[in-house]
A and B are shown apart, each in its own frame.
Chain A
Amino acid sequence: MRKLKRSTREAIEGYLFILPWLIGLVVFTVGPIVATLFISCTEWQLFGAPKWVGLANYVRMFNDPLFYQSLKVTLYYTLLSLPLGLAVGLALALLLFQNVKGQSIFRTIFYVPSVVPAVASATIWIWIYNPEFGIFNYILSKFGITGPEWLYSTEWIIPAIAIMGIWGAGSTMVIYLAGLQNIPRMYWEAATVDGASKWQQFWKITLPLLSPTTFFLFVTGLIGSLQTFTAGYIMGGGGGPLNASLFYCLYMYQQGWKWFNMGYASALSWVLSVIIFVLTLFVVKASRSRVQYDLM
C-alpha cells in the first residue's frame, strides 16, 4: 500500500476526530434545514405526502394580514427592547465596575434573573403587570399615575414585554464588564491627568473602546429578539389580545403545528432567516467604520 502523504493523513485524522460532531451537525441541523427548503415549496399537512406547489407559499405571504402583523410586532419589539437592553446592561456594568464594597454580591444579584427560565419569569411578570393587583401599577399609583392595562391592552403589551426584557440585562452586563476589564487603565489615568471630566472620558474613551462589545451584543441581541417566542406564547396567551403579541415565531408555530400548514410554516421560517441574514449583513457593513478595536 502506498504511503499517504503526511498532510493528507493528518487531514483524515482530523476529520475522523470531528466526525461525531460532523454527523450530528449534518443529521440534526443541516439536514432539517435543507428539508424545510423543500417542504416550503410544498403543501404538506404533516402527514400524508407533500404536494409540490412551487413558490405558492411565498406568494401567499403577500396577501396574508397575519404575516404583516407578526412581522410588525416582532420589529416593533426589537426596536424597543434592543436599545433598552443594551443601555441598561451598560449602565449596570459601569456601576459595578466601580470599586464598591460587596461588588461580587451585586454582580450576582443583577445576574440572577438571567438564569431564570423564560417561562418562569414570564409567569412572574404576568403578576407584576396585573392592572388590579400588580406591583407595577401600585408603584405608578404612588406617583399619581394610573397605569395602563399592560398585558390586556393591545397598545401596551409589546412595551410591557420589552420592559420585562430589562430583567434579563444581567448577561449583557457580564459581557460589558468583561469588555470594560479589557480596556487598559492608563487611558483613563492619562485623561484624568489632562483634566478630562468623567463624562468626557465616557464618551471619548469608554464607549469607543467598548464598541466591539456593543457590536457583538447588538448583533446577537438582534438575532435573538427577532426569534422571540415565549413572551407572546405565555404572556399574550398565544399572541393576544387581538394578535398584538403575535410574534413571528409564534405565528410560524401556529401555522405549522396548530393549523397543519407545514409548507407555509417552512416558507415563513425561510423568510425569517433571510430577514435576519440581511439585517445582520447590514449591521456588519454599517458598523465597520464605527467599531474601534484599539486606540493605538
Chain B
Amino acid sequence: MKKLRSLAIAVIAVFLVSGFTMGAASKPVVLRAMTWDSAEGSEWARAVFEKFEKINPNIKIELQPMPDGYDDRLLTSLAAGTPPDLFLVWDYPSLASRGGLEPLDKYDINFSGINPALVAWNSYNGRIYGIPKDWTTQVIWYNKKVFDRYKVAYPQTGWTWDDFRNTAKTLTHEGDKVWGAALSFGDPYDWQNWFVMGGGDYLSPDGTTMKGYFDSPGAIKTMKFLTDMVLVDKVSPSRSILSASGGTYAMFSSGKLGMIHSGMWFLGYLSSRGLPADDYGAVVVPSPAGSKPVTMMNTSGWAMAAACKNKQAAVEVLKFLAEEGGQTQGEAGWAFPVSENAIKATGLLDDPNTRVFYESLRYALKSPGFLRTPEYMEKCSQYVSEAFDLVLLEKATPEVAMRQAVSKSEKAFGR
C-alpha cells in the first residue's frame, strides 16, 4: 500500500509539472476530462467533445479513459490538488461534502431540458454538482421463453408483490434447474426501492439515522419478503450457483432464470454476445397491493473540480453537454439520454421494452440513500449489507438482524 501511494504521488507530481507547461499563453486552453469507460466505451464522449471543439477552437479537451482504478486515481489527484478539470461522478456527497466539486447552479447553465429527477440525482444538499450523462431505471426483465415453456402469463405493469411471488413460484422447476427470479444481494444499492415500497427505508430522509427506518415494521416485512424467496420459496438460485453459472445475466439469457431486477445495461450484454433482444420483456417493478411502485435509478454526470484552473472554459463544455450532449450519449441505445428532446429523437420510446424504463422514471426514488449523507457507505450501507448476509446465512431473523444493524449504525453515528 505504501509503495502504491508513493507511486501515485509521483504520477501526480509529473502531471502537475506537465500541467503548468501546457497552460502557456496564446495556445488553446487544454482541459482534461476523465471517464471510467474504456477507450472503446468512451467513443460517444469523444464524439461529443469533438463536436464541441469544432465550435470552440480555442478549447481543447483531452479525454482520459480510466477503466481500472478510477476511484483511486480520482481521489489521489483531488488530494494532491491536481484533479482533471472534468470527470464522471455518481456519488456526489462524498466528494462535494469535502469540497472537491464546484457547484454548477451558480453558472449560467440551462437545465430546463433535463428531467428534474435526473437533476436531483446529480445534486447534493440542494446544489447541482453534475450534468447528467445518461441514466437507466431498474425494471423487472423477464425471459419470454421461460414463461412460454411453463405457460405462465407475462407480467403486466400494475402487478403486485404477491403476483411477483406467485409468478416466481410457478416458474421455478427444480428438476429442470430453472429458477423464477434472482435476488443477488451484492450491493444494497439495488434494493432500496423495495424497502421504500414496503413502507420502510434504509435511513432517514436527512441521512442522520437508520433508527425508525431500517427497523420499522415495513422494512422488516420487506426484508422478509425478499429473503423468503431464497430461504422459503427457494425460487432464487443461491449465490454459489449464480457465481458458478457466470452471474445473473448468463443464467437469465440461457433460460435458467425467469426474472431479474436490472437496468438497461442488459441490452448491452445481449448485443455484445450477439443475442436477440426479442426474447425478453421489461415491466415496471411490482408494488405492494394498493400502493404505487418505486423504482431505483442509476445515473452519473460530468462534474467540475473545485480546483479547476480553467473554470470559464470548463463551464462552456458543461453548457454544451447540458444542451447538446444527450443526443450522442443515447445513440448506443443502452442508456437513456438526459434531455427530453434527445429522448424523443432516439426512438427509444417506440420500443415496447425500452419505453418501460422511461415510464419507470416517474416512479424513481426521490433521494437514494447515498445522496442523503456523505457517510452513507461507512455508517449505513455496510450494516444493511450485513443484515442481508445474517438473514441469508440463517444466522438471524430479519427482526434481530435489522435491530442489530440499527444499533451498530447508531454507534457509528456517535450515539
- A132 near B98: Cβ-Cβ < 8 Å: no
- Does A36 sit at the interface, judged by CB under 8 A? yes
User: How far apart sit A61 and B239, CA to CA, in the bound complex (Å)?
Assistant: 33
Interface 1/0 per residue, B5-16 and A, CB below 8 Å: 111011000000
- Going nearest first, the 7 A-B pairs with the smallest beta carbon separation are A259-B378, A28-B6, A133-B244, A130-B244, A32-B6, A131-B240, A47-B78
CB distance from A50 to the nearest CB of B (A): 11
Given A32-B2, A132-B244, A47 and B389 contact (CB-CB distance below 8 Å):
no
- A242 near B389: Cβ-Cβ < 8 Å: yes
User: How far apart sit A199 and B389, CA to CA, in the bound complex (Å)?
Assistant: 50
CB contacts (< 8 Å) of A166 on chain B: these are none
**Interchain Cβ contacts within 8 Å, total number:** 79
User: How far apart sit A259 and B412, CA to CA, in the bound complex (Å)?
Assistant: 12
- Does B232 sit at the interface, judged by CB under 8 A? no
- Does B100 sit at the interface, judged by CB under 8 A? yes
Given A29-B2, A242-B393, A259-B377, A47 and B240 contact (CB-CB distance below 8 Å):
no
CB contacts (< 8 Å) of A243 on chain B: these are 386
**Interface residues in chain A, defined as those with a beta carbon under 8 Å from any beta carbon in chain B:** 27-29, 31-33, 36, 45-48, 126-127, 130-134, 149, 152-154, 229, 237, 240-243, 249, 252-253, 257-261, 269
- A242 near B241: Cβ-Cβ < 8 Å: no
- A126 near B243: Cβ-Cβ < 8 Å: yes
Secondary structure of the B contact surface, majority rule: helix
User: How far apart sit A48 and B240, CA to CA, in the bound complex (Å)?
Assistant: 43
- B386 near A242: Cβ-Cβ < 8 Å: yes
CB contacts (< 8 Å) of A249 on chain B: these are 1
- B1 near A269: Cβ-Cβ < 8 Å: yes
What residue in chain B is nearest A65 (Cβ atoms)? Answer: B408
Interface 1/0 per residue, B41-83 and A, CB below 8 Å: 0000000000000000000000000000001100100110100
- B244 near A241: Cβ-Cβ < 8 Å: no
**Interface residues in chain B, defined as those with a beta carbon under 8 Å from any beta carbon in chain A:** 1-3, 5-7, 9-10, 71-72, 75, 78-79, 81, 94, 98-100, 186, 238-241, 243-244, 374-375, 377-378, 386, 389-390, 393, 395
User: How far apart sit A243 and B63, CA to CA, in the bound complex (Å)?
Assistant: 38
- B98 near A154: Cβ-Cβ < 8 Å: no
- B244 near A47: Cβ-Cβ < 8 Å: no
12 pairs, A vs B, C-beta closer than 8 Å:
A29-B6, A31-B6, A32-B2, A32-B5, A46-B79, A46-B98, A47-B79, A131-B240, A132-B244, A133-B244, A241-B389, A257-B75
Given contacts A47-B98, A47-B100, A152-B238, 16 further A-B contacts (CB under 8 A): A27-B6, A28-B10, A45-B98, A46-B78, A47-B79, A47-B99, A48-B98, A130-B244, A134-B244, A152-B240, A152-B393, A241-B389, A242-B386, A242-B389, A242-B393, A259-B377
Secondary structure of the A contact surface, majority rule: loop
- B239 near A152: Cβ-Cβ < 8 Å: yes
- B71 near A48: Cβ-Cβ < 8 Å: no
User: How far apart sit A46 and B73, CA to CA, in the bound complex (Å)?
Assistant: 12
- B390 near A242: Cβ-Cβ < 8 Å: yes
- B241 near A36: Cβ-Cβ < 8 Å: no
What residue in chain B is nearest A241 (Cβ atoms)? Answer: B389
What residue in chain B is nearest A46 (Cβ atoms)? Answer: B79
Picked from B3, B99, B240, B375, the residue with its CB within 8 Å of the CB of A132 is B240
User: How far apart sit A257 and B79, CA to CA, in the bound complex (Å)?
Assistant: 11
CB distance from B152 to the nearest CB of A (A): 26
CB contacts (< 8 Å) of A130 on chain B: these are 240, 243-244
What residue in chain B is nearest A255 (Cβ atoms)? Answer: B378
- A28 near B7: Cβ-Cβ < 8 Å: yes
CB contacts (< 8 Å) of A253 on chain B: these are 1
- B75 near A48: Cβ-Cβ < 8 Å: no
Picked from A240, A258, A261, the residue with its CB within 8 Å of the CB of B389 is A240
User: How far apart sit A246 and B75, CA to CA, in the bound complex (Å)?
Assistant: 23
What residue in chain B is nearest A253 (Cβ atoms)? Answer: B1
User: B10, B100, B238, B239 — which one has the most chain A CB atoms within 10 A of its CB?
Assistant: B239
CB distance from A242 to the nearest CB of B (A): 5
CB distance from B387 to the nearest CB of A (A): 10
User: B81, B239, B240 — which one has the most chain A CB atoms within 10 A of its CB?
Assistant: B240
Given A240-B389, A269-B1, A257 and B72 contact (CB-CB distance below 8 Å):
yes
User: How far apart sit A252 and B9, CA to CA, in the bound complex (Å)?
Assistant: 19
CB contacts (< 8 Å) of A32 on chain B: these are 2, 5-6, 9
Given A31-B6, A46-B78, A260 and B243 contact (CB-CB distance below 8 Å):
no
CB contacts (< 8 Å) of A127 on chain B: these are 244
What residue in chain A is nearest B100 (Cβ atoms)? Answer: A47
CB distance from B396 to the nearest CB of A (A): 10
CB contacts (< 8 Å) of A131 on chain B: these are 240
CB distance from A289 to the nearest CB of B (A): 34
CB contacts (< 8 Å) of B71 on chain A: these are 257
CB contacts (< 8 Å) of A149 on chain B: these are 240
CB distance from A65 to the nearest CB of B (A): 8
- A260 near B94: Cβ-Cβ < 8 Å: yes
Given A126-B243, A132-B241, A241-B389, A258 and B377 contact (CB-CB distance below 8 Å):
yes
CB distance from A248 to the nearest CB of B (A): 11
CB distance from B308 to the nearest CB of A (A): 14
